[in-house]
Each structure stands twice: as structure tokens, then as C-alpha cells.
Chains A and B, each alone.
Chain A
């Protein structure tokens, strides 16, 4: 039985269209993925005024100098137009490192200022910084660097873990060698079963 040549060419045309649309979708996906990795902001709504641009439910994903993935979130993000690398954040939420990583850091605060050029974030107002191993740092202000993982905590601060509570006036912490230096510190060591 001979096939209908017009029916065949119609099928080929449809296949070509599907391939073209698929290629476009794939290209869009690649572009979207690469922009996520490069540290661009995405938000639910963007408004811009004469002095600043504002984004609602802003999210930025990227990798730092050490190759650790990070996610920055803010309920409201405002870009200062006079210094475009600086963003003011409301309710910032930071994740550095994967969920399985042993040195993962999560931080939340009432507000923050992010300098995209240096990777530095100043978090303020009831800052809570969580590290792997059920360790929680609470302080009024934390100066956190996304690129290095280093942070400076202004006290009065508390670092709490299951068997230890450290209170101090100041904490300087380096991400690479996991060293924490406390000024005027007090460590309370709990025996098993104590809290």
C-alpha cells in the first residue's frame, strides 16, 4: 500500500515545529539556569522609582569563591541606584552550603544590607544563625561574608549547642579553619542530661 505524500509532509512539518519549540524551551532553560548560578536576582514583582528599584519575594542563587552553593531570599529587596551593587533587604534569609554539607550555614534577620561586589551582608535585628550540629547563634548584629563564610557577631551574643552555651561580647569566626574567637566569653558546659 502506497502512503499519502501530502500526509507525510504534514507530519514532517509538525515534527519540525515541535523540534523548534523544544530547542527554544531548552535554550530558555539553559539561560535561566546559568543566570541562577551567576547570582542574578529574581522576584515576584519589580517596581522602580527615581532613587531605587524594589523587588518583592526576591531570590538569588549562586556559588561562592569556594564553590559552595548559596541562596539569598528577601521579602523586600531594594537596590540603591546610586550604588547599584548594594541592596537593602527586609526579612533576609540566607543559606550557604548544601543540606548534606557538614558546614552549612543558615541565617535569618529582620533586616540586612547586601553588597554584591564584596559578598558582604550586614544582618541586624534578632539575628539567628544556624550551623550544622544543632548550633544556633543569636545576636543583634552579624556581619557575614558569603564568599568566604567568615562572620563577625556583635554582642551580647549567645552560641548554643546541645551540651554547651557560650555567651560573649564579640565573636570573630573564620569559615575555612572553623575557628571562633570570643571576647569576654563565658562557656557553660552541661553534663549529659543537663540543659
Chain B
């Protein structure tokens, strides 16, 4: 649980950037190729996949911010 929380939003950042083996937008392996398109899209999207385990997360977008919950790795906020 704590690993993802530690990697979550840094003060002042608009988008948290969790590090992990999976792309948090498309759910493919982060090392499988460039994810430049995913990274660009993430400027205007919350994450959808847990970067640590590839599970689809429960994401709630709010007028200001969002939250994304992985059943295994906990909650991210942005």
C-alpha cells in the first residue's frame, strides 16, 4: 500500500508520475516501447492502470483533481 502512496502527488505538481513496470495509461509494459503518446495524453487524463500491478483502478475525476484506487496498492491523488 505505502509504495504507491509514497510515489503519489508531489506538492505543486499537477500530475503525479508513479514509477513502475506498467504504463499507467495503456496498461502495457513500460519497457515494451516508448510511451510518449501516453505521457502526452496523461497531461489531460488521470491514470487508469496501476503502474505496479497493471490492475485497472477505480478512478473518480472531480472538478478539481482526481483519485485513483488500486485494490492492492492503494490510492493516488492528483
B is a partner of A? no
Chain A interface (Cβ < 8 Å from any Cβ of B): none
Chain B interface (Cβ < 8 Å from any Cβ of A): none
